[in-house]
Amino acid sequence: MADKNNKVPRKTARDGVYWDGRNYDAFNTPYQDDQPFYLAEARKARGPVLELACGTGRLTIPLKKAGIDIAGLDLSAPMLRQARAKAAAAGLRLEFIQADARRFRLGRLFNLIFIPFNSLQHMATRVDIEALFSSVKAHLAPGGRFILDVFNPDPYCLVRDTEELLPVAYYPDPAGGGQMLVNEQYSYDRAAQVSRLVWHYRREKDGKTVKKSLDLRCFFPAELEALTHYNGFKTIARWGGFDRSRFSGNSAKQVLILKKRS
């Protein structure tokens, strides 16, 4: 459901680790701790919900199953193909929209918009961030909330050996015939404030390795507060995790619940 305002670029920074929905799901199966949090927040919304960067429907589908009026938006065609297939298999009528979160125009408002799973970190530049916040504000109903979660940058990661390979996932190969091992290579671009990752997907069956890139903008806590404030939002709550623990320097996550400032 994309109109002329929702044109999708042929090649984007999200090309890379999002090339295959089945591998994405297998890689991310262990990461489900955010689902109860977003379900609770969606129920509080008491109205339509929009998930930005919904991927393969990792959250969209279970929230729909729980009775939430939700739509998902993502830029990646392979991710959305997997999402639609999963929704169909579950017997769900679920709207998945292929569009850019920085410049979508849907012609309706939502009580809750959220961008989960560190996806705001794909917004590498000030222009990207301002465009995303502007699009969100244009689609929030009066009193609506915007929720985001990102990593709290770990200084140790920023000084990792750029030649080091660390295992980050090990799962059954969706193509069959053994396991898939994923090793991560990491470098930090201090000028751009971007973590540049390369994931090495090694198929154990034949030893074939495919390399896929992933760039993640680092948002430091005071910077993130400033960015949300100067883009017209006020912070309702800031948590250090999906258990609603108090945010501190030791928190692995930054979870912000925002409203538009009057």
Given this model, what pLDDT does residue 23 score?
A: 95
Query: d(Cα 255, Cα 233) in Å, to the nearest integer?
Result: 14
Half-sphere exposure of 210 (CA within 13 A, CB side): 12
- Domain limits, the chain: 4-152+220-260, 155-217
Given this model, what pLDDT does residue 15 score?
A: 46
Q: Where are the alpha helices (DSSP H) in 74-220?
A: 77-89, 126-139, 155-158
The pLDDT tens digits for 114-162 are: 999 999 999 999 999 999 999 999 999 999 999 999 999 999 999 999 9
Residue numbers in the chain where pLDDT is lower than 50: 1-15
CB 140 within 8 A of CB 109: yes
Class at the top of the CATH hierarchy for domain 4-152+220-260: alpha beta
Given this model, what pLDDT does residue 4 score?
A: 44
> How many residues are recorded in the chain?
262
Given this model, what pLDDT does residue 80 score?
A: 97
The pLDDT tens digits for 209-225 are: 999 999 999 999 999 99
